[in-house]
Amino acid sequence: MTSATDIKQLLQHHGIQPSVQRVAIAEHVLATDRHPSADQVLQEVQRKLPVVSRATVYNTLKLFVEKGLLRQYQIAEGPTVYDANIERHHHLIDEETGRVIDIPWDAVEVKNVEGLEGFEVDSYMVVLRGRRRDGS
């Protein structure tokens, strides 16, 4: 449960003025484990708060990324998606639905990244393609 006041405080602690629009956007995008695109966020938010513009959604998502509240990825076909999970983790793309699913960092093991010759690596993730197994 993240109440509206909690959201406001969270934004303020990150140096973000909690306007009505920003709180509404935060409530949706920070609470989901989906990986919505900017236009999906716009659709969702407009149901609760009809007076929000496309420009504000794009501006706000960018702001949240800059302030470290969100990550932004371009991993599958289609538009940039936003990710409220800011811990390091991997991603699986469901090839049937196109949906991006979080995979815990320790679910797979990646070795020898530090020893990679000729490169300095800041971060990495495994991107998998497949599908959910039936009972899941």
Partner DNA sequence: CTATAAAATTAGACATTGTCTAATTTGGGA
Partner DNA sequence: TCCCAAATTAGACAATGTCTAATTTTATAG
Residues that bind DNA (CB under 7 A): 16-17, 19-22, 37-39, 51-56, 58-60, 62, 78-80
Q: Which is nearer to its own copies, 19 or 94 (CB)?
A: 94
Q: Is 102 helix (H, G, I), strand (E, B) or coil?
A: strand
CB of residue 50 vs DNA: minimum separation in angstroms?
A: 9
> Using alpha carbons only, how large is the chain's radius of gyration in Å?
17
Beta carbons of 80 and 73 less than 8 angstroms apart: yes
Which of its own copies, Zn ion, DNA, none sits in contact with 86, Cβ below 5 to 8 A by type? Answer: none
C-beta of 50 vs 135, nearer to its own copies:
135
Question: What φ, ψ does residue 134 adopt, rounded to 5°?
Answer: -25, -70
- Return the closest-CA partner of residue 61 out of 72, 48, 74, 49: 72
107: tokens are: 């679910």
Q: Are the beta carbons of 20 and 49 closer than 8 angstroms? A: yes
Return the residues of window 2-41 that contact Zn ion according to CB under 5 A. Answer: 2
Residue 60 or 92: which CB sits closer to DNA? 60
Shortest distance (Å) from residue 129 CB to its own copies:
5
Binding site for its own copies (CB under 8 A): 74-78, 80, 92, 95, 101, 103, 107-113, 116-133, 136
